[in-house]
Structure 1
Amino acid sequence: MRLLLTSGGVRNQSIHDALLDVLGKPIAGATALCIPTAGYANPGGFGRAWNFVAGQESECPMTELGWKSVGVLELSVLPSLGPERWQPVVREADVLLVNGGDPLFLHYWMRESGLAALLPALDDTVWVGLSAGSMIMTPRIGEDFVGWRPPTGGDDSTLGLVDFSIFPHLDHPALPENHMGAAEKWAATLPNPSYAIDDDTAIKVVGDTVEVISEGNWTLFE
């Protein structure tokens, strides 16, 4: 699986070019599934989930990029279906577009749905994350980003498909708490490397190669 981990979607030419690189084909020739699940656990999340699915998020473009086709993969529905109903659809998709929202809510449904277990088999699939959809791939999100907690309890651990954590929306005007000083304190609580990235930055991961794609601001905390 090839990863494009964004803070604010595919919102500039550099991130768009990185998406084309990991896809290996034009967007118009690629099939996508969008995953809105993370949004439901946030205030206003039901409307934001609709905007994401409908391609109405102009500030953080994902589904509106001109894909050959876009389907909806709602993770909370999958446990009530047999894997033979949904796994072939996931395997056939070129890209998974994963919405922002609450990362632990997304992590819970990634596990419960069975999608997390399927990820290692998706060698040719591209994962494009938006905020929580990117954070889910890291080993830990840090307590600063813990909101919803699963009924089974647990800590701030997530999937750990990469070995670094992500502090998204750095210096976002609507999130004054997401400043560099807060990112430094957050990073100091984690045992692994971490990146603070703004919405014009993404992290491309192909195999063992990690590359920061940016037209904005970012910092690596070792």
Structure 2
Amino acid sequence: MKFLLTSGGINNKSILDALVDMLGKPIADSNALCIPTAMYGHPWVGPGVKAWQFISGKEENPMVSLGWKSVGVLELTALPSIDENRWKPLVQETDVLLVSGGDALYLCHWMRQSGLADLLPSLNSVYVGMSAGSMVMAPNIGEYFVGWTPPEGGDETLRLVDFSIFPHLDHEMLPGNTIATAERWAAEMQGPAYAIDDQTAIKVIDGEVEVVSEGHWKLFSP
């Protein structure tokens, strides 16, 4: 699977160009599935209006609204209650998964419970994450980002990439997300860690990592 891990969605031409390159065809010829699940676990974004805005393409951060050939909804909390033959072929045939922000540990829990986590490594599609949707791919998220607490506790996530992500660096609505805070957070991570702003994304293909940015970012090495 190919990963485009963003802080704030497809916010500039560089990130958009990277996405199109990863798809190998125009967005208008590509089918997407959006995953809003992370939003329900975060008190700022769901459930309610913002979840609907994301699904309907009226989101503040462009993802669903980019002009896809088709967009479907994959709600992870529903998948354990239906036969996997009703949703696995849909996921396997889609060109791109669009995964919203919200709570990374809540998203991780439902990725595992639904079976999607086990399926992801075998997919040929592009995974586009935003904020928590990106952080969930890391080995862990760090105590700074723990909100919803999983039944097993801890801050471990899916470990499908070998680095962690501190999103929304220097965001005007998040005054605590400074480079100094990111540096303290990175000191607790298990491996390499990136602090990225909303104009930055991390592209991962076959384990090769490339930063795509029109903003600012920093890599913290262990």
Q: Same fold (TM over 0.5)?
A: yes
Task: Report what 2:5 is aligned to.
Answer: 5
The whole-number CA distance in structure 2 between the counterparts of 1:56 and 1:86 is 25
Task: Report what 2:87 is aligned to.
Answer: 86
Task: Report what 2:75 is aligned to.
Answer: 74
Q: CA deviation at 1:48?
A: 1.5
Task: Report what 1:29 is aligned to.
Answer: 29
Map Cα deviations across residues 186-209 of structure 1 (whole Å, 9 max, x no partner).
Answer: 000112000000000000000021
Q: Give 3-state SS (helix, strand or coil) of 2:17's partner.
A: helix
Q: Give 3-state SS (helix, strand or coil) of 1:76's partner.
A: helix
The whole-number CA distance in structure 1 between the counterparts of 2:175 and 2:202 is 23
What RMSD in Å do the two structures reach over aligned CA positions? 0.7
The whole-number CA distance in structure 2 between the counterparts of 1:40 and 1:111 is 16
Q: Where does 1:3-152 land on structure 2 (aligned, <5 Å)?
A: 3-43=3-43, 44-46=45-47, 47-58=49-60, 60-122=61-123, 124-150=124-150, 152=151
Runs of 4+ in 1 over 6 A off after TM superposition: none
Task: Report what 1:183 is aligned to.
Answer: 182
Q: CA deviation at 1:153?
A: 2.4
Sequence identity percentage: 63
Task: Report what 2:213 is aligned to.
Answer: 214
TM-score (normalizing by structure 1): 0.97
The whole-number CA distance in structure 2 between the counterparts of 1:61 and 1:213 is 16
The whole-number CA distance in structure 2 between the counterparts of 1:162 and 1:118 is 15
2:161 touches 2:207 (CA, 8 Å); kept in 1? Answer: no
1:63 counterpart letter in structure 2: V
Q: CA deviation at 1:56?
A: 1.1
Query: Could you list the runs of 5+ residues in structure 1 that have no partner in the other structure?
Result: none
Q: Which moved more, 1:100-109 or 1:113-122?
A: 113-122
1:158 counterpart letter in structure 2: T
The whole-number CA distance in structure 2 between the counterparts of 1:184 and 1:97 is 29
1:103 counterpart letter in structure 2: A
Task: Report what 1:166 is aligned to.
Answer: 165
2:139 touches 2:190 (CA, 8 Å); kept in 1? Answer: no
2:195 counterpart letter in structure 1: A
Query: Could you list the runs of 5+ residues in structure 2 that have no partner in the other structure?
Result: none
The whole-number CA distance in structure 2 between the counterparts of 1:49 and 1:182 is 29
The whole-number CA distance in structure 2 between the counterparts of 1:12 and 1:57 is 15
2:77 counterpart letter in structure 1: S
Q: Give 3-state SS (helix, strand or coil) of 1:71's partner.
A: strand
Map Cα deviations across residues 118-140 of structure 1 (whole Å, 9 max, x no partner).
Answer: 11221x11000000000010001
Q: CA deviation at 1:8?
A: 0.3
The whole-number CA distance in structure 1 between the counterparts of 2:191 and 2:183 is 13
The whole-number CA distance in structure 2 between the counterparts of 1:134 and 1:170 is 14
